[in-house]
Structure 1
């Protein structure tokens, strides 16, 4: 015995979970793991519309990064705060639902208000650098969608050109392909993607 307490050097070793991630998800094991997970997912969730997408822009930072690979599932209904992939104006977008039919939204002092009440959004990259001083009501069958990187996102905060009537660029609920449920690449950030229940200070 040299007087060294048992396990004194344990801090120098990776936990089992870390070793598992490195071995199974590192190359080439990572590709095999992804194929296996995808096969199981398609078998189990195919009828629910499981689909895969890659994040194309910085508009959802810091929640999602450019190049993140995502899995989505179709749901019978969607909620404020859900991160969804939608096919809008001929292209796929990944955004967060901020408003649903009947909601009245505006942006004041860099913050979002729903039905006149402040909405907590801890996930956004920075306060909004624009205002929507005239309250906007979401039409039936549509939604108000925003990127988490509010000042660098093309979303419902923008007004369409005059040729489209000058209205805000709402998305249709039936344009939603599915809710983002999982990030499977890069391996360092893989895991479940959680939506945030977006409510106003009145709790609705």
Structure 2
């Protein structure tokens, strides 16, 4: 629990969680350094590609200032790979009790995805205080999060999905929002083209927006 509290504090301090898809593990460290240069010391590397485990491992080794989590974790095998690679937290798109239980047994802080009251109550039953609200915009966005805070005042949310420069500050202005997930500053084409300077610039702009929340 202590480790999870520390992770939550670090994500809350960042206010923004970049959702990263890496096709090549060799791009992981340059990307991490680009994010750090832009002022962000946290990233979620998604298990949407075969490079995810290696990418997380490289970041832990060569960019130790970066808090790195594993995202889109759907199976026990992916969870085990994430833990072995050194992921410091896990994010899932939905609420799978099997994955939550396995992560807790492994001592890995987990932020499962929910988008309704039932999901929030499931999370609470496992002692969780932070959930991913996904997909944020299609699920009702800010009004829906505000509605959930009535019956569940202790829950914190990391909305992800449809969030960008135009609405980031509005989401962060909601007290129940711990941080926002987003991918515009780590666009797949920018990573593919190895345009890390642009990633740093977009990250710095995003960080500036978080201060308005």
TM over 0.5: no
Larger Rg belongs to: 1
Which has more strand, going by share of residues?
1
Structure with higher helix content: 2
Q: Using structure 1 for the length normalisation, give the TM-score.
A: 0.27
